[in-house]
Amino acid sequence: MEGNMRLSLKVWRQSNTDAAGGFEDYKLDNVSPDMSFLEMFDVLNEQLIEEGKEPVAFDHDCREGICGMCSMYINGRPHGPLRGVTTCQLHMRSFKDGDTIVVEPWRAQAFPVIKDLVVDRDAFDRVISAGGFISVNTGNAQDANSLPIAKEAADDAFAAAACIGCGACVAACKNASAMLFVSAKISQLALLPQGQAERSIRAEKMVAQMDAEGFGACTNTGACSAECPKEISLENIARMNREYIGAKFSSSAV
Amino acid sequence: MSWFSQTLTSSIGKKLLMALTGLFLISFLVIHATINAMIFYNDGGETFSHWGHFMGTNPIIRTLEIGLVAGFLIHIIDGLMLWKSNRDARPVKYAVNNAAANSTWYSRSMGLLGTLLLIFLVIHTSHFWIPNRSNQFATGEELNLYQMMLDTFQNPVVVLIYVLGCVSLFWHLLHGFKSAFQSLGLNHVKYNGAISFVGTAFSIIVPILFALMPISIYLGWVK
Q: Note the pTM of the prediction, 2 decimals.
A: 0.95
Q: Taking residues B60-79, what's their average pLDDT?
A: 97
Q: What Rg value do the Cα atoms of chain A yield, rounded? A: 21
Residue A1: predicted pLDDT: 66
Cβ–Cβ contacts within 10 Å for residue B156, how many? 10
Mean pLDDT of all residues belonging to chain A: 96
Distance of CA A31 to the CA centre of its chain: 27
Give the model confidence (pLDDT) of B8-24 as tens digits: 999 999 999 999 999 99
Residue B22: predicted pLDDT: 98
Q: How confident is the model at residue A141 (pLDDT cuts 50, 70, 90)?
A: confident
Give the model confidence (pLDDT) of A18-48 as tens digits: 999 999 999 999 999 999 999 999 999 999 9
Q: Which residues of A, range 65-124, sit inside 8 Å of B by Cβ?
A: 73, 75-77, 81, 102, 104, 107-110
* A149 pLDDT above the threshold of 70: yes
The answer to whether B195 and B188 have CB atoms below 8 angstroms apart is no
Residue B1: predicted pLDDT: 81
Residues of A in contact with B186 (CB under 8 A): 238
Q: How confident is the model at residue A142 (pLDDT cuts 50, 70, 90)?
A: confident
Cβ–Cβ contacts within 10 Å for residue B40, how many? 15
Cα A136 to Cα A141, A193, A197, A198: the distances in Å are 11, 12, 10, 11
Closest Cα to residue A207, out of B15, B124, B191?
B15
Q: Could you write out the DSSP letters of every residue in chain B?
A: --HHHHHHHSHHHHHHHHHHHHHHHHHHHHHHHHHHGGGGG-STTHHHHHHHHHHHH-HHHHHHHHHHHHHHHHHHHHHHHHHHHHHHT-SS--SS--GGGTS-TTGGGHHHHHHHHHHHHHHHHHHTHHHHHHHHHHHS----HHHHHHHHTTSHHHHHHHHHHHHHHHHHHHHHHHHHHHHTT---TTTHHHHHHHHHHHHHHHHHHHHHHHHHHHTTS--
For residue A145, count CB atoms less than 10 angstroms from its CB and return exposed for 0-12, middle for 13-18, buried for 19 or more. Answer: exposed
Sign of CA dihedral A173, A174, A178, A180: negative
- ipTM of predicted assembly, 2 dp: 0.94
Cβ–Cβ contacts within 10 Å for residue A158, how many? 12
Partners of residue A174 on adjacent β-strands = none
Q: Among partner residues A104, A110, A239, which is closest to B94 by beta-carbon distance?
A: A104
Residue B13, min C-alpha distance to chain A (Å): 8
Q: How confident is the model at residue A139 (pLDDT cuts 50, 70, 90)?
A: confident
Sign of CA dihedral A211, B2, B65, B155: negative
Residue A120: predicted pLDDT: 98
CB B107 to CB A219 under 8 A?
Answer: yes
Q: Taking residues B120-142, what's their average pLDDT?
A: 96
Closest Cα to residue A59, out of A96, A105, A93?
A105
Residue B79: predicted pLDDT: 97
Residue A189: predicted pLDDT: 97
User: Does residue A45 sit in helix, strand or coil?
Assistant: helix
Residue A104, min C-alpha distance to chain B (Å): 7
Give the model confidence (pLDDT) of A196-230 as tens digits: 999 999 999 999 999 999 999 999 999 999 999 99
CB B12 to CB A245 under 8 A?
Answer: yes
Residue A204, min C-alpha distance to chain B (Å): 9
Q: Among partner residues A12, A109, A217, which is closest to B11 by beta-carbon distance?
A: A217
CB B102 to CB A215 under 8 A?
Answer: no
The answer to whether B28 and B68 have CB atoms below 8 angstroms apart is yes
Closest Cα to residue B98, out of B86, B83, B108?
B108
Residue A228: predicted pLDDT: 98
Mean pLDDT of all residues belonging to chain B: 97
Q: Report the percent of chain A where pLDDT is more than 70.
A: 100
Residue A144: predicted pLDDT: 78
Q: Among partner residues B14, B92, B178, which is closest to A107 by beta-carbon distance?
A: B92
Give the model confidence (pLDDT) of B99-130 as tens digits: 999 999 999 999 999 999 999 999 999 999 99
Residues of B in contact with A112 (CB under 8 A): none
Residues of B in contact with A174 (CB under 8 A): 86, 90, 99, 103, 108
CA dist., res. B153 & res. B128, Å (int): 12
Q: Taking residues A153-177, what's their average pLDDT?
A: 98
Q: How confident is the model at residue A253 (pLDDT cuts 50, 70, 90)?
A: confident
Residue A56: predicted pLDDT: 98
Instruction: Encode burial over B112-146: b for 16+ CB neighbours within 10 A, e otherwise.
Output: ebbbbbbebeeebeebeeeebbeeeeeeeeebebb
CA dist., res. B193 & res. A101, Å (int): 39
Q: Among partner residues A75, A216, A223, which is closest to B89 by beta-carbon distance?
A: A216
Residue B9, min C-alpha distance to chain A (Å): 10
Residue B201: predicted pLDDT: 98
Q: Taking residues A158-168, what's their average pLDDT?
A: 98
Nearest 10 degrees: Cα torsion A99, A171, B19, B31? -20
For residue B202, count CB atoms less than 10 angstroms from its CB and return exposed for 0-12, middle for 13-18, buried for 19 or more. Answer: middle
CB A248 to CB B97 under 8 A?
Answer: no
* A65 pLDDT above the threshold of 80: yes
Question: Could you tell me if A248 lies within 8 Å of chain B, comparing CB atoms?
Answer: yes
Q: Taking residues B84-109, what's their average pLDDT?
A: 97
Question: Could you tell me if B1 lies within 8 Å of chain A, comparing CB atoms?
Answer: no
* B197 pLDDT above the threshold of 80: yes
